[in-house]
């Protein structure tokens, strides 16, 4: 259920709970009704993300929300505090909070962060459950503004934050859905319905159209599946646009590994999330009506299963791409790069000024960076810097990895232009080097989100399950896009 936001100087006549920010230093707001000593007795010190539902005989509940040190309050920390408030207030419908009213912070950014935190932390995936208890009841949030001159900025910020948060939750839903309930055809139909509703141009390419386009990677990876592939192209066109950014998302709806079958361990249950890149691109495109960037955006969803069967691609097969490049397949579980190469090739032909691909691509990146950081690679430092800055603003952590030219020879094939794996070491880097072969020299950035694609539990604004990492980074990137120079 979507959360609605309103801005007011005073609390409405009727509400269920109020969340009041308390720093770990300085004075406690009088509206809390407790001094610092009494709060400490309740185990509340004002640390970032702490919450305490304060005892009351009657009337609306009061929730103390930790902000951390006064001098260190930022939009990112407000997002975390708002997430904690959302979980503490989840049983109430009408919430009031002055969290976004912080002196020294931009009111738009503060309200956006608070709205995002509330919406993101209210998420819980229950689509496959008969008992849907535990869903957040929050429906209405009133953000209090002491200075009405900031009301419009806060209203706009909350509207944007709510819309972006809902987009993230949509991508989470898609990535959490069981594979039997969401195949490539289903995702394409969903993209058509939602895309048209948001004013996007949506084109769907079935297996016949994919063959006519000579998308060799898509055809090869889909070879072992009974479910046909789909490529979805979504286009957002603002007025007076001058540049185009292309987003390419890996949409492997279920990844068994193909003939190079994955071991039968816990990883299999998460392979329904191997389409997170496509879900992130779709959610980003659907958010653009609310965020209104001034750049034209084209999104490609490369959707297929990767399954073993008598018709599956085999080790030693050679794929021919529409740009004439040939690839020897030496591991069918390195399939994501094969379909991303198709999307990147099309984006280059589209005439995009800059490219971003996003994918749950390599276990090697997860080994290197864990589950808190995504790997960031690319061929243009100015463009990489834009992506990294967007991640910083979104509080989605990116770590730049190199693309060493001396490692390119690891992809040399004896029978084709290149092979799809580079050996046992530096797997994330050789995957990036493979993709670089298909970007035609265009400014390009690659996001490997294999690590942060899922969370084992609620933490801050992250909810258990699929995280949809990357949506907010891409939204921020497009909002402040500058054509890469050089």
Give backbone dihedrals phi and psi of 3, rounded to 5 degrees, phi first. Answer: -100, 130
For 20-59, the pLDDT digits (tens) are: 999 999 999 999 999 999 999 999 999 999 999 998 878 8
Start-to-end CA distance of the chain, whole Å, equals: 46
Token digits of residue 268? 């299999």
Place 117 in a pLDDT band, splitting at 50, 70 and 90: very high
The residue from 36, 262, 314, 325 that is catalytic is: 262
The residue from 94, 172, 233, 337 that is catalytic is: 337
Are β-strands 418-419 and 326-328 bridged in parallel, bridged antiparallel, or unpaired?
A: parallel
Q: What is the pLDDT of residue 1?
A: 65
Active site residue 325: no
185 close to 228: Cβ distance less than 8 angstroms: yes
For 205-235, the pLDDT digits (tens) are: 999 999 999 999 999 999 999 999 999 999 9
Q: What percent of the chain has pLDDT over 90?
A: 94
DSSP string, 30-46: GGG-S-HHHHHHTT---
Q: What percent of the chain has pLDDT over 70?
A: 100
Q: Is 269 a residue whose pLDDT tops 80?
A: no
Active site residue 262: yes
Averaged confidence pLDDT in the chain: 96
CA distance 66 to 24: 7
Place 131 in a pLDDT band, splitting at 50, 70 and 90: confident
Q: Is 243 a residue whose pLDDT tops 80?
A: yes
Q: Which of 131, 114, 201, 120 is nearest to 166 (CA)?
A: 120
Mean pLDDT of 147-162: 95
What residue ranges define each of the domains in the chain, with the CATH number in brackets? 4-170 (3.40.220.10), 177-479 (3.40.630.10)
Q: What is the pLDDT of residue 57?
A: 75
Q: Which residue has the tokens 């258990």?
A: 464
Place 344 in a pLDDT band, splitting at 50, 70 and 90: very high
């Amino acid at each position: 259920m979507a959360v609605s936001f309103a801005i007011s100087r005073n609390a409405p006549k009727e509400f269920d709970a109020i969340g009041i920010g308390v720093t770990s230093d300085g004075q406690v707001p009088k509206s809390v009704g407790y001094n610092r000593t009494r709060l400490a007795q309740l185990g509340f010190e004002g640390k970032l993300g702490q919450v305490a539902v304060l005892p009351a005989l009657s009337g609306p509940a009061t929730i103390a929300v930790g902000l951390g040190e006064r001098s260190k309050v930022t939009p990112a920390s407000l997002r975390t505090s708002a997430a904690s408030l959302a979980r503490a207030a989840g049983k109430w419908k009408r919430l009031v909070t002055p969290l976004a009213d912080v002196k020294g912070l931009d009111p738009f950014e503060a309200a956006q962060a608070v709205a995002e935190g509330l919406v993101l932390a209210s998420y819980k995936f229950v689509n496959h459950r008969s008992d849907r208890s535990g869903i957040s009841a929050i429906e209405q949030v009133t953000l209090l503004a002491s200075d009405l001159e900031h009301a419009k900025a806060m209203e706009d910020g909350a509207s944007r934050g709510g819309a972006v948060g809902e987009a993230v939750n949509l991508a989470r839903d898609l990535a959490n859905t069981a594979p039997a309930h969401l195949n490539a055809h289903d995702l394409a139909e969903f993209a058509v319905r939602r895309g048209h509703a948001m004013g996007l141009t949506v084109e769907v390419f079935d297996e016949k159209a994919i063959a006519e386009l000579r998308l060799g990677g898509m055809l090869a990876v889909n070879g072992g599946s009974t479910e046909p592939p789909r490529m979805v192209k979504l286009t957002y066109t603002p007025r007076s646009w001058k540049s185009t950014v292309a987003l390419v998302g890996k949409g492997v709806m279920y990844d068994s590994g193909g003939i190079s079958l994955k071991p039968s361990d816990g990883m299999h249950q998460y392979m329904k999330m191997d389409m997170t890149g496509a879900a992130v691109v779709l959610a980003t495109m659907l958010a653009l009506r609310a965020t209104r960037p001034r750049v034209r955006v084209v999104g490609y969803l490369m959707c297929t299963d990767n399954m073993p069967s008598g018709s599956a691609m085999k080790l030693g097969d050679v794929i021919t791409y529409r740009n004439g490049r040939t690839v020897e397949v030496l591991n069918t579980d390195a399939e994501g790069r094969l379909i991303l190469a198709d999307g990147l090739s099309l984006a280059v032909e589209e005439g995009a000024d800059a490219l971003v691909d996003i994918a749950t691509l390599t276990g090697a990146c997860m080994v290197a960076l864990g589950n808190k950081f995504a790997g960031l690679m690319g061929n243009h430092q100015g463009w990489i810097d834009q992506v990294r800055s967007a991640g910083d603003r979104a509080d989605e952590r990116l770590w730049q990895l190199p693309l060493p030219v001396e490692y390119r020879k690891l992809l040399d094939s004896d029978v084709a232009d290149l092979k799809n794996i580079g050996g046992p070491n530096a797997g994330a880097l050789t995957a990036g080097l493979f993709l670089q072969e298909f970007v035609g020299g265009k400014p390009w950035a690659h996001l490997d989100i294999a690590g942060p694609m899922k969370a084992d539990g609620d933490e801050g604004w992250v909810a258990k399950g699929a995280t949809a990492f990357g949506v907010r980074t891409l939204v921020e990137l497009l909002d402040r896009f500058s054509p890469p120079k050089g």
